[in-house]
Structures are given as C-alpha cells and as structure tokens.
Amino acid sequence: MRISRTLRLQLSKLIFLIITFLLSSCGGGGGGIATAISVAETVAGIYTGVSDQGVISYFASIGDGVTYSIDLSADTLTSAALAAAPNVASNAFVAANANIINFGSQSSTTSSIAGTINSPNSITTVNHTTGNSVNYTLNTNFNSTASLTSIVGNYTGWGITKTTAAQTYTVTVNGSGAFTESIPGCSLSGNFNTVPGYNYYSVTAIFNGLGCALGNGTTTSGIAFLDLTGHLVALASNSSKTDGFFFYGTPTGAAGSATASFPVQSAIKNYNQSSPIIRFNVTGGCLGYFYATQAAPVSTIFNGTAGFSVFRTLNQYLYNCTPASVIETDYSYYDSNYIPLGFSIASDTATPAAPFGIYLTPATIPVTVHVGDSGNIGTLTLYTDASKITLAGTRTQTYSVAAETTTTCLFSLTIKNYDTNNNLTFTEIDTYRISTAGQALLLKMTVTYSNGLTLNMY
C-alpha cells in the first residue's frame, strides 16, 4: 500500500490479557475433579486468530491451567479467573473479575472475558469491556515439546508495559535458554524453559535498573512461543498481576554459509502457491498493525502472456497517523515460471496514484543465488488504469542476498517508486528468508517516503 500519512501523537494500542484459571475440585466426589480437567483440556492449546478489527491475536491456554491472551487491536492488560462448570457444558467459559490495565490511560479497571468453544480446534472470545471478539484456530503442534535449539538467536522487535509506550530492542537467547536485553536505564534477563509435552516455553524475567518501568528488581513470570511465522512472542506479569511486559520480535539469525546455493525461483513459486498470511506490527513514524491474505494462484492471461494471477487483501491499521485504516485488494500476475509480469489494484481506500503496472521489458529472477549476490530484476511502467494510456511513473526492483544460517539466507527486494517527473516518492525493502530447500518466508517490510517518514513492518 502506498499511502501518505500525517503524523500525530497518540499512545499505541495493545491488549495484553493474562487470565489465571483457578480450577479446583468441589470435594467429596469425582464429579468436581472431572469437570476441572475437562475445562482445562477443552481450551488447552496455543491459538492464532484475527480480531473483528482485522489484526493479529493470540490465545494460549497452557497445561497447568493458566491462560494468556493477546489481542493487538485494543489497549488492555487483563488478569482473571475462569468461571465454574455449568457454562462449560454448553461450550462456553467466562473469566470473571478481570484486572484490566489500560495502556493509553495507564489505569486499571475490573471486567470479564467470555469465551465460546466452537470445536476442538476453534474458540471465540469476547472482552466484556471493549466488546472485541476474536475467532481463534488451534496451532496443531501444541502437544509436541518445544526445543531450546529452536529459540536460540537474536530477535529484534518491540515491547510494551503498562507505563511505557512501545520501544524497540533486541532479545538474545543462548543455547541454555538464558536471555538478555537492554535499553537505556534498564536491563532484562531471565530464562526460557521447556515444558514437557507442550510446544511453548515458561519464562522468568528480572528487571534491573532505576529506569525500569516495572521497578528495579521486579520479577515477572509467563510464557513464550514461536508463532507460525517464526516470531518470538513473550509475555509475563508481576506477582500481583497489575503490570507486565509483552515482546514481539523477528529473528535476525546468526552468520550463514557463503557457499550454500538458494533456489530463489522455486522459493517464489512455493511461496505464492502456499496462500501465505502476513501479520506484522508497524513501528517507526507510525504504530499499528499490518495484515494480509493471499488466495491460491489462478490460471490467466496477462498482456498476452499465459500464467497465473494471485489475489491479495491488505489491511493496515495505524494508531498515531492518518489515515488510521487502509484496505487494498490487488492482483499480482506471473508467467508459468512465476516470474512477475505486472499488477493491478482492484480497490484501495487510500486512492493509489498508480493502480496498474507492467514490465514492458521482461523481469529476470535468477534460478539460484548465493550469499553476497545482488542484481537487477526489472522496471515496472506505471499507469493510471489498465488502458495504459496515462503514465503514472516507474518502479525499479533490485535484489541482494545476505547471510543468516547455514541453510537459510536473507533475500532483500528493494523497490524504488518514481513519479512522472522522475522524483523518488518512496523506497521499500522487503526481506525474505530463503532456505536451501526452496521455501520462502516474508520477515520484514520497510518503507521510507520522500518526506522522511519510515514505517517498519515485521
């Protein structure tokens, strides 16, 4: 999405819900104990969903009866207890007496959260204060034990507490699960520990420094896990459940191999055939969220060339910039080898200046690349519509390859957009992880506009 924004100050919005399920037996008979086990098992798992505002959400109910929920569309932090048995019989549960911490007003209130069990792999939750509803789907690998090897590395992202706005920092995790991070005036250290039989990590973290928002020496505990796109999600609260921290980071990896060969053409083909879903935070000059879905390729003919079209829906929500919401639908066109041919924008609430683009000279993408490679892909000629009568500018695309691990590289696509007077209007860098097995994953997008505004999406 190519949109202009007027920067204005607001606090970021985030909902960080910590719900403690107090499941106890009724005493005297087996019925109470059986009900408690049934509740925990019914909702146990790590779920990913999209709120009714179209942004990323997580729900993690872990094996010891503690549940954490993050809804990135609102601005509350919650702690609550699960209501007792009768609702569970009708596929519903309620977390009552919730301690809701509002990041915007830096205040606390009490409310409740209701949930509905739709199926063994699906739940819906509703926050009784905000009214936000989220449909969640279970991550099916929940019942496999997480590995410390999987979480080792550096993760760069942003974190937030009750008393601070989002801040960018890097978390470093070593082979034993110990981690550290530091910002001016405060350092955070602790451990990720595996939980036998479950694909998440328990977290203990201590804040050290007079500049720490939660206080010098404060100990927090919670959970962490890697989401389906490889991001590190970590959340924990203090002992009174009155404050906590949330971290969402992109893996930056370690030194990779300069000799490995990465089949980038196959990776692009596999990526487009996988119907990827993208869920990113937006930081930099604006704070918010980016969410995109992509349909399966459909056979088509574009500008006389047989190939495929891919339909996408892009949603961007910003809390301190205007417009606050942008929704775009578009088509990308490829030849039979998934070399790009052009694009067309079907709808965009931001009214794009160039809704149609085509490679008049065919684009080129190498079959394989190595660390250190770079080159030109091609130039799109932009038009105001599909009639190709009125020019709207040009868009150049180049690539570079950087090291990550011995089996993955970082493939960066640099896009420069020019108007009809050849003035640069924005530069976008999209970074993909490419594996030696021919798989691709979009890790980050950075857009810098001619007015100096930069948006980081990861």
State whether 280 and 383 are in the same domain. Answer: yes
pLDDT tier, 23 (very low <50, low <70, confident <90, very high otherwise): very low
Q: Which of these ranges, 17-21, 47-51, 450-454, has the smallest mean pLDDT?
A: 17-21
pLDDT at 46 over 60: yes
pLDDT tier, 273 (very low <50, low <70, confident <90, very high otherwise): very high
pLDDT at 67 over 80: no
pLDDT tier, 407 (very low <50, low <70, confident <90, very high otherwise): confident
State whether 292 and 409 are in the same domain. Answer: yes
Is residue 39 assigned to a domain?
Answer: yes
Report for 71-85, 223-237, 248-262: range of highest mean pLDDT: 223-237
CB 331 within 8 A of CB 343: yes
Is residue 11 assigned to a domain?
Answer: yes
What confidence score (pLDDT) does residue 99 get?
Answer: 60
What confidence score (pLDDT) does residue 3 get?
Answer: 32
Backbone angles phi, psi at 168, to 5 degrees: -95, 130
What confidence score (pLDDT) does residue 122 get?
Answer: 79
Is residue 25 assigned to a domain?
Answer: yes
Report for 144-153, 285-294, 348-357: range of highest mean pLDDT: 285-294
For residues 323 and 15, the model is more confident at 323
pLDDT at 65 over 60: no
Q: What is the mean pLDDT of the chain?
A: 77
State whether 392 and 432 are in the same domain. Answer: yes
Q: Which amino acid is at 343?
A: F
| pTM (predicted TM-score) | 0.55
Q: Which of these ranges, 16-25, 45-54, 438-447, has the smallest mean pLDDT?
A: 16-25
State whether 176 and 238 are in the same domain. Answer: yes
Q: Which of these ranges, 59-63, 111-115, 248-252, has the smallest mean pLDDT?
A: 59-63
Q: If you average pLDDT over residues 88-106, what whole number do you get?
A: 61
Q: What is the CATH number of the domain that holds 159?
A: 2.40.128.10
pLDDT at 54 over 60: no
What confidence score (pLDDT) does residue 308 get?
Answer: 96
What confidence score (pLDDT) does residue 33 get?
Answer: 22
State whether 231 and 290 are in the same domain. Answer: no
What proportion of the chain, given as a percentage, has pLDDT over 70? 72
pLDDT tier, 418 (very low <50, low <70, confident <90, very high otherwise): very high
What confidence score (pLDDT) does residue 416 get?
Answer: 96
For residues 154 and 96, the model is more confident at 154
What is the distance between the alpha carbons of residues 397 and 415, in angstroms, rounded to a whole number? 5
CB 118 within 8 A of CB 136: no
User: Would you call 8 exposed, middle or buried from its count of C-beta atoms within 10 A (0-12, 13-18, 19+)?
Assistant: exposed
pLDDT at 262 over 80: yes
pLDDT at 259 over 60: yes
Is residue 259 assigned to a domain?
Answer: no
The last residue of a domain, from among 75, 110, 138: 138
The last residue of a domain, from among 138, 169, 194: 138
What confidence score (pLDDT) does residue 107 get?
Answer: 65
What is the token pair recorded at 157? 């992202």
What confidence score (pLDDT) does residue 61 get?
Answer: 66
Our count of domains for the chain comes to 3
Question: Taking the CA atoms of the chain, what radius of gyration do you get in angstroms?
Answer: 24
State whether 313 and 338 are in the same domain. Answer: yes
State whether 280 and 236 are in the same domain. Answer: no
What's 297's DSSP letter? P
pLDDT at 47 over 80: no
User: Would you call 75 exposed, middle or buried from its count of C-beta atoms within 10 A (0-12, 13-18, 19+)?
Assistant: buried
Q: If you average pLDDT over residues 186-214, what whole number do you get?
A: 87
State whether 192 and 311 are in the same domain. Answer: no
CB 197 within 8 A of CB 145: yes
Is residue 87 assigned to a domain?
Answer: yes
pLDDT tier, 36 (very low <50, low <70, confident <90, very high otherwise): very low
User: Would you call 131 exposed, middle or buried from its count of C-beta atoms within 10 A (0-12, 13-18, 19+)?
Assistant: exposed
The last residue of a domain, from among 77, 109, 138: 138
What confidence score (pLDDT) does residue 199 get?
Answer: 83
State whether 212 and 274 are in the same domain. Answer: no
What confidence score (pLDDT) does residue 307 get?
Answer: 96
What confidence score (pLDDT) does residue 180 get?
Answer: 87
Name residues whose C-beta falls within 8 Å of residue 145's C-beta, 6 or more positions apart in sequence: 194, 195, 196, 197, 198, 199
State whether 238 and 275 are in the same domain. Answer: no
Element (DSSP H or E) covering residue 223: strand 219-226
Q: pLDDT tens digit string along 174-198?
A: 888 999 887 777 888 999 999 887 8
What confidence score (pLDDT) does residue 188 get?
Answer: 87
Is residue 234 assigned to a domain?
Answer: yes
State whether 300 and 440 are in the same domain. Answer: yes
State whether 87 and 158 are in the same domain. Answer: no
What confidence score (pLDDT) does residue 87 get?
Answer: 41
Is residue 1 assigned to a domain?
Answer: no
pLDDT at 333 over 50: yes
Q: Give, in order, the Cα–Cα distances in Å from 228 to each of 144, 185, 293.
A: 14, 33, 14
Q: Which of these ranges, 76-85, 266-275, 366-375, 412-421, has the smallest mean pLDDT?
A: 76-85
What is the distance between the alpha carbons of residues 302 and 336, in angstroms, rounded to a whole number? 11
What confidence score (pLDDT) does residue 10 get?
Answer: 26
Q: pLDDT tens digit string along 120-154?
A: 777 777 765 566 677 777 776 667 788 888 888 88
Range of the structural domain that residue 12 is part of: 6-138
CA atoms within 13 A on the CB side of 379: 6
Q: pLDDT tens digit string along 227-238?
A: 766 788 888 888
For residues 259 and 334, the model is more confident at 334
Is residue 258 assigned to a domain?
Answer: no
